[in-house]
Structure 1
């Protein structure tokens, strides 16, 4: 299975459990691995034959901007669900990082790997 990577995608979201986290959006970082058959675009050199990674990035950004989850786990799953609903991806890994939350840690993150269930 071939892969497309989107790394370090910066998004903004209203997320968190504590009241002070709900006052303003927070910076989150998203790393995505999209598993798909890329044989056709590899030979055709035609953008219409591949996954449009700019559209995938925008879909994930939109989910973050329009959500109000308490947990990054819930937001990560919503992002995955949106990608599966819009794009022909067989499997994906999504790492969602909340880098500015703990003063003594560089990052806090969750990582999910999911496979399309309707194939």
Structure 2
């Protein structure tokens, strides 16, 4: 499994994370999924260069605020039904990568209630800003 932390572009970065953020959202391609919300767990890792995230005065505006991650997710979910977890991951990652201090992002989503014989099914995406077209 690829570890984002080992990517050479992230050597001088701080990792901010949001783990197992549980939301109930309208997601899925099947008719039964379109009629009710599903529980989804969202994980985000933001990689911010140390030079842009090391506070000198212990002030919030010197760093990327954790609320940024939650608000991006909330805004995307508020736009309505999403068919695919891939779409949710891609949209959230793209928006977060637009932040001027964010160098890289990893976003994963999991549906824990889809199958009774496994913990969850999900999708993960990782992007580094310098490698984007």
Query: Scaled by the length of structure 1, what TM-score is found?
Result: 0.87
Q: How does 1:1-119 map to 2 (within 5 A)?
A: 1-39=13-51, 40-86=53-99, 88-116=101-129, 117=132
In structure 1, runs of 5+ residues without a counterpart are: none
Residues 1:102 and 1:90: Cα distance change in structure 2 (over 3 Å): same
* Corresponding pairs, count: 118
Residues 1:87 and 1:15: Cα distance change in structure 2 (over 3 Å): farther
Single out whichever of 65-74 and 18-27 deviates more from structure 2. 65-74
Residues 1:3 and 1:107: Cα distance change in structure 2 (over 3 Å): same
Query: Scaled by the length of structure 2, what TM-score is found?
Result: 0.79
Q: Secondary structure at the match of 1:43?
A: coil
- What is the Cα-based RMSD across aligned positions, in Å? 1.8
Distance 2:62 2:26 in 1: 35
